[in-house]
Amino acid sequence: MADKFYLTTPIFYPNAKLHLGHAYVVTLSDIIARYHRLVSDKTYFLTGSDENTQKIIKPAELEGKTPQEFLDEKVESFRSLFTALNISYDQFIRTTDQKVHWPGAQMLWSKLVEAGDIYKKEYEGLYCVGHEAFITDKELVDGKCPDHGTVPERIKEENYFFRLSKYTDAITQKIESGELAIVPETREREILSLLREGLQDVSFSRPRNTNSVGIPVPGDDTQVIYVWCDALANYITALGYGQDETLFKEFWPADVHIVGKDILRFHAAIWPGMLLSAGIPLPKKILVHGMVLSGGKKMSKTLGNVIDPEELLTEYGTDAVRYYLARHISPFEDGDITREHFKDAYNANLANGLGNLASRIMQLAQTHLTEPVKLTFTPYPKGYTDALEKFEVNRASDMVWERIKALDTSITQSQPFKVVKEDLERGRELIAELVRELAAIDLLLEPFMPETSKKIIEAIMANKKPENLFPRKD
């Protein structure tokens, strides 16, 4: 029976260009969304941008733009990357959207107040402007922030705090009972051990100053909501929480939040704490993916190993990039990409693999069959659906490529090109069988490579060789 399926990606900071790591999480999410639509689940796929950050003020000034112009351009570039990757999101939420996002975030804040979980406290600490956050003495190297190389300021301010400590046991219980599943298990263990130490209350607001961006604290204009009740709230404000709740009623709780391991703690501790306080059901799952490295190292400009997704898309095309991200990077561990490995994988599995297979079979069909092969729907193999239900897109795509290999071998063995000359009818039947298996494989390609899948099925229905799908690269 079909269900509803609500999935979300992180919302991205617009202070820099998106890189291959961001392309990874949206592509992984897209494959999962497309799979759920294929099995007829009513699917809602959310992505967006996390914009209430002071980090954009300087870069905007440098480019001679107002913050709003700067943000609009960045968001446009996110959307155009997502279009180039063929990401089928249903909604793109912007946290600067005062109509869609702010009322819901403020409503959530008010619920935390009603629960007695927001209190005011004077806070003194070391503030790093680059991080837009307090950092601890322990984190300093030679008295400086190791990430920004600057000396933090000691500041004293009054903030609102959220009583997260109160929810340590309740969150632990939800995770242990599986009501809130953290996938993979290694990440679940990581978060449970953090919970065993007990959660600390967290700072939930900042004093408003001249440079302040962000959502005003309800009932206190001197403060703005700090990241948590702003960014995390997007998952419900996008569904109209606190306003028109039609979508919220239909789709909440989220079936899965897909996030990188860098933001696991926020999603598996702070967010559930907020929801418990507000009396809102928890998401069912959090899928925590690893980081995409290049040559075993974090991509960085100084190492010169940064891979720009747009460059790959221009050189190889959308489905080649989707293919690599799906099959050659594990959703649960750190993955790796280099230009060389990308090219090798492309030539071996797309140019010589899938592309060559489709063209060999359809060449035979076009030459020897008088009409398109009649197709019957083949159900999805259980191994494939099981893998995709568990977000194992790499395993599901491995299964598809096993069938591609097997079909290639069967052409070599059955030699239909010879058989048609000796026994036309038998030859034709052999070719029709190959076409039917190609169509069955093609069906499984749909969530991964929707355009390619469409081209192949169109070729089959027209009984025509497809265009060269994946030209070899030297």
Separation between Cα atoms, residue 425 and residue 422, nearest integer Å? 9
Question: Which residues bind to ligand ME8, rule: CB under 6 A?
Answer: 10-13, 21-22, 24-25, 50, 231-232, 234, 259-260, 262-263, 291-292
For residues 235-255, one letter each, b for 16 or more C-beta atoms within 10 angstroms of the residue's C-beta and e for the rest, the string is bbbbbbbbeeeebbeebbbbb
Smallest separation (angstroms) from ligand ME8 to the CB of 23: 9
Smallest separation (angstroms) from ligand ME8 to the CB of 282: 15
Q: Is 286 in contact with 332 (CB distance < 8 Å)?
A: no
Say which DSSP state 152 is in. P
Smallest separation (angstroms) from ligand ME8 to the CB of 86: 19
Smallest separation (angstroms) from ligand ME8 to the CB of 26: 9
Report the residue number, 281 or 471, with the smaller CB distance to ligand ME8: 281
Report the residue number, 90 or 334, with the smaller CB distance to ligand ME8: 334
Q: What Å distances lie between residue 300 and 16, 293, 297, CA to CA? A: 13, 10, 8
Single-letter code of the amino acid located at 34: R
Q: Is 310 in contact with 81 (CB distance < 8 Å)?
A: yes
Separation between Cα atoms, residue 360 and residue 357, nearest integer Å? 5
Report the residue number, 273 or 353, with the smaller CB distance to ligand ME8: 273
Report the residue number, 103 or 372, with the smaller CB distance to ligand ME8: 103
Strand 153-162 vs strand 118-128: parallel, antiparallel, or unpaired? antiparallel
Report the residue number, 105 or 404, with the smaller CB distance to ligand ME8: 105
**How remote is the C-alpha of 149 from its chain's centroid?**
31
Report the residue number, 234 or 318, with the smaller CB distance to ligand ME8: 234
Position of minimal CB gap to ligand ME8? 21
Smallest separation (angstroms) from ligand ME8 to the CB of 341: 16
Q: What Å distances lie between residue 97 and 50, 56, 232, 239, 401, CA to CA? A: 10, 16, 15, 14, 43
3-state DSSP assignment of residue 258 = strand
Looking at the DSSP bridge assignments, the partners of residue 126 are 135, 154
Smallest separation (angstroms) from ligand ME8 to the CB of 287: 10
Q: Is 156 in contact with 123 (CB distance < 8 Å)?
A: yes
Smallest separation (angstroms) from ligand ME8 to the CB of 10: 4
**To the nearest 10°, the Cα dihedral for 244, 247, 251, 257?**
-80
Report the residue number, 96 or 234, with the smaller CB distance to ligand ME8: 234
Smallest separation (angstroms) from ligand ME8 to the CB of 134: 17
Report the residue number, 292 or 469, with the smaller CB distance to ligand ME8: 292
What's the half-sphere exposure (Cβ side, CA atoms, 13 Å) at 61? 5
Q: Is 148 in contact with 126 (CB distance < 8 Å)?
A: no
